[in-house]
Structure 1
Amino acid sequence: MGVNFDLNDLQAFRAVVELGSFRKAAEAVNISQPALSRRIEKLEAALGVRLFERTTRSVTLTTIGRVFAPSAEQLLDDLDVALLGIRDVSTSRLGHVTIACVPSVAYYFLPSVVAAYHSRYPRIRVKLLDSSANDVLGSVISGEADFGVSFMGSQETEVEFKVLLQERFVAACRRDHPLARKKQVTWSELYEHEYVSVDKTSGNRLLLDQALTNVAPAAPSVCETRHVTTMLGLIEAGLGVAAVPSMAMPMRDHPILTSVPLVDPVVTRRVGIVRRRGRPLAPAAQQFYQTILDTKRSGMVRAAKKTST
């Protein structure tokens, strides 16, 4: 038996799901509210189920509606993938993209990317999953995220890793700290001062442990954190110094924090885009992917400049 609904009905359904309102959904797809209601009723009749619970104040998905929503989204994304070579994602298109990202990149680099993307595609929602490198990789492999931005994944067979840039680790300190007057700092010199470190669950900790097998701190850190951004807050409060990726540092004109290159050895990490191997990106995600590449090429990635600091 044929299913008596069409693409317009699915698009109306997605609009209501994403906007949570029949009125806003009708405006988004440029039809009247009664016409949108008829599309939803047609879809519900074709499926033989109620997809929404409607009151005068709210619209919520039924249990079956919640089950159906991902399938409807996938159908529309698959169609967009098929049409991607024929037309661009229009500025009037509704949709969403989910990006997993390590916090240091999410805090200092991605805001400019999201801003550029939103100005071009204002109706597409962006969801950022800022988490550890291991969690970023897991989100990409599981499909929770369309793709990720991280420094881990180049050795995984299930994903592709496209390098964006290589950055070095630097010593983060307050401008009134003795190390701030130096042109460069060795790791041994860094560890002569009270310092903050990331804990063993951090991908940065694994990278540093592998690179610094011949450098032994004289004393344990005064504090451990899970994320670099938290560590910088502790440094700003005067808790000591820390080794951080250059991208994690705030702008050069920050009134309190500064950084000094770390040497003996120079430790670097490669930051790249992680995506599932053999699976095309949905158009909204593809456009976000391209915006990252365009941002990098335009010189907006501050970390690329800081590697020569």
Structure 2
Amino acid sequence: MQSLNDLKILDAIERFRSIRKAADHMSLTPSALSRKILALETQFGVELFERTSKGLRLNRSGQYLTVYARSQLAEFEKVRGELQAIKKTTSGHVRICASQSVLESFLPVHLARFQLNNPKVTVSINHSSSARAMTDLQEYHSDIGLCLNLSDHTDLSVLGDADQEIYAVVTTSHPLAAEREVSIAEIARHQIVLPPQGSGLRLMLDQHANRENTFLTPAVESNTYASIASACRNAGLVTFGLSLYEQTEDGAGNVALIRIRKMPPANVRLVKLHGRTLSPAADKLARYLGNRMRGRAVADAGQTTPQATQG
């Protein structure tokens, strides 16, 4: 490979499936990017892409080389971070894959707090199911993952682990807001907003409702936090969140969190690919998030929450 930009070409084309969009992303003209693609194929002696009417698509050789390219870019981030550590600063880019419920209730506020103390660390987040997280980590799409009810796997190292209670979330003016605990059947009598079928939280809620001979019929079903939060705040619908939700700005003042009777807890795990050395930026963020998760678990157990290590 001639440069890091050559490595980034493969990743950009896989993501955008378009010469024009990939070229815009890399600040190149489409013709310049096309020449670089031909140069890569000449260098390796194989075609890397399939040309279709819908644009470019990686073939098997291209997919193999893209995984290698991402691993090299991740290694570069690690080395760059180590060099910055010599200067006693932390910089770099961290990629996180996260289940929707964790993305909604935990990451936004804690990433903001981390970046206040680490302004040279940038973060990108991919919404990913727990089943998809393994592939994201193996193929270097992500550095770390925050997943709901993730099964044990020899390819993953667990950096943080916490059981999380699932709450009904309502505005303080909702009829249920005064209750400390309600059954899933009582919740089902109200209009509710749910994540889509197949998501980890939705699966747990449907299974619990089935055990209690109740059926949850959503008035609104959405896979975006903004629309779920809007339906709760503005339309008075009931939604659901993890106990991690209590740490967010939304968790204080304008909403009430109500325990769901007999509802089993969810498990949230912070993971990385086994054997992979994280960049200093990713390692620092992982340690920060792990500390916050452990602090929440202690608080849920009715103990004093320890002061988490600040980023």
| Shorter-chain TM band | 0.5 to 0.7
- 1:253 aligned partner: 252
Aligned residues: 255
Deviations 1:94-137 (A, max 9, x none): 53221112244334433454345435543333212234444444
User: Shift in Å at residue 185 of structure 1?
Assistant: 0.7
Query: Alpha carbons of 1:64 and 1:290: their partners in 2 closer, same or farther (altered >3 Å)?
Result: farther
- Residue 286 of structure 2 corresponds to residue 289 of structure 1: yes
Once the two structures are overlaid, the 10-residue window that deviates more, 72-81 or 193-202, is 72-81
- Residue 144 of structure 2 corresponds to residue 147 of structure 1: yes
Please say if residues 156 and 274 of structure 2, whose CA atoms lie closer than 8 Å, have aligned partners that are also in contact: yes
- 2:269 aligned partner: 272
CA distance in 1, matches of 2:281, 2:150: 23
Query: Alpha carbons of 1:64 and 1:233: their partners in 2 closer, same or farther (altered >3 Å)?
Result: same
Gaps spanning 5+ residues in structure 1: where?
18-52
SS of the equivalent of 1:178 reads coil
Query: Alpha carbons of 1:183 and 1:277: their partners in 2 closer, same or farther (altered >3 Å)?
Result: same
Which amino acid in 2 is paired with 1:262? Answer: I
User: Shift in Å at residue 288 of structure 1?
Assistant: 2.0
Once the two structures are overlaid, the 10-residue window that deviates more, 59-68 or 194-203, is 59-68
Gaps spanning 5+ residues in structure 2: where?
10-22, 44-65, 303-311
Deviations 1:158-192 (A, max 9, x none): 32334432211112222222211212111222223
CA distance in 2, matches of 1:123, 1:240: 39
- Residue 172 of structure 2 corresponds to residue 175 of structure 1: yes
Q: Aligned to 2:240, which of 243, 260, 263?
A: 243
Query: Alpha carbons of 1:77 and 1:90: their partners in 2 closer, same or farther (altered >3 Å)?
Result: farther
Instruction: Calculate the TM-score normalised by the size of structure 1.
Output: 0.64
CA distance in 2, matches of 1:97, 1:89: 19
Please say if residues 151 and 270 of structure 1, whose CA atoms lie closer than 8 Å, have aligned partners that are also in contact: yes
Larger radius of gyration: 1
Which amino acid in 1 is paired with 2:163? Answer: Q
- 2:63 aligned partner: none
Please say if residues 114 and 285 of structure 2, whose CA atoms lie closer than 8 Å, have aligned partners that are also in contact: yes
Query: Alpha carbons of 1:234 and 1:129: their partners in 2 closer, same or farther (altered >3 Å)?
Result: same
CA distance in 1, matches of 2:274, 2:168: 36
- 1:102 aligned partner: 99
Please say if residues 166 and 265 of structure 2, whose CA atoms lie closer than 8 Å, have aligned partners that are also in contact: yes
Q: Aligned to 1:226, which of 223, 226, 242?
A: 223
Instruction: Calculate the TM-score normalised by the size of structure 2.
Output: 0.64
CA distance in 1, matches of 2:216, 2:285: 44
Which amino acid in 2 is paired with 1:253? Answer: A
- Residue 205 of structure 2 corresponds to residue 208 of structure 1: yes
User: Shift in Å at residue 200 of structure 1?
Assistant: 1.2
CA distance in 2, matches of 1:194, 1:285: 40
Once the two structures are overlaid, the 10-residue window that deviates more, 177-186 or 152-161, is 152-161
- 2:260 aligned partner: 262
User: Shift in Å at residue 276 of structure 1?
Assistant: 1.6
Determine what percentage of the aligned residue pairs are the same residue: 21
CA distance in 1, matches of 2:202, 2:70: 38
CA distance in 2, matches of 1:217, 1:89: 59
Which amino acid in 2 is paired with 1:180? Answer: A
Which amino acid in 2 is paired with 1:109? Answer: F
Query: Alpha carbons of 1:64 and 1:195: their partners in 2 closer, same or farther (altered >3 Å)?
Result: same
- 1:158 aligned partner: 155
Q: Aligned to 1:191, which of 183, 188, 204?
A: 188
Query: Alpha carbons of 1:279 and 1:243: their partners in 2 closer, same or farther (altered >3 Å)?
Result: same
